[in-house]
Amino acid sequence: MGFLGMSTDVLAHAVAQGDRGYIQEITGINLIAFIYLGAKHMVTGYDHLLFLLGVIFFLYQMKHIAIYVSLFALGHSTTMLLGVYFNVGINSYIIDAIIGLSIVYKALDNIGAYQRWFGFQPNTKAATLIFGFFHGFGLSTKIIEYDISPDGLIPNLLA
């Protein structure tokens, strides 16, 4: 029952209250601050960590790990930028459900369920990029809600 009373900030892509206040107050280009916030978002987001852990679980070469992490980051960054720039938000509950399903999808992929059930193995690189797109929409929806200054917006988000 406690779950029903939880704040929506507990959902995926929540931004810490201090970080939220900071990005709402600053104006202009602040690349170092946004590099820090972006890195913090990527390494503290349990949804990113779980999905990427599933993706890299059976990989043993750093080259392959870098490719998959880069595909996820590319997808995430693309939809985050486009979503904020064009002010396109998607219902956060739908995005959070898709993000949860992305983790389940990868777990099933890792145990070979798709090969057994359907007779084919999905393209893991394409799936990583596509789910990166959904994860990015989760963040863009939050950023749009915060109504941050358009001054320096694109360089800051690129950082």
When computed from its CA atoms, the radius of gyration of the chain, rounded to whole angstroms, is 17
**pLDDT band with cut points at 50, 70 and 90 for residue 76:** very high
Distance CA 141, CA 135 (A): 10
User: Smallest Cα–Cα separation from 136: which of 67, 72, 93, 77?
Assistant: 77
| Percentage above 90 pLDDT, the chain | 50
Give the pLDDT confidence of 28-70 residue by residue, as tens digits: 898 898 889 888 888 888 888 899 999 999 999 999 999 999 9
User: In the prediction, which pLDDT does 68 show?
Assistant: 96
DSSP 38-64: HHHHHHH-HHHHHHHHHHHTT---HHH
Q: At residue 118, does pLDDT exceed 90? A: yes
Name residue 83's amino acid. G
CA dihedral 81, 83, 87, 91 (to 10 degrees): -150
Secondary structure (3-state) at 6: coil
Considering the entire predicted model, what is its pTM?
0.82
**pLDDT band with cut points at 50, 70 and 90 for residue 133:** very high
Helix or strand holding residue 18 (H, E): helix 17-25
CB atoms within 10 A of CB 14: 19
Distance CA 37, CA 98 (A): 24
Distance CA 31, CA 22 (A): 13
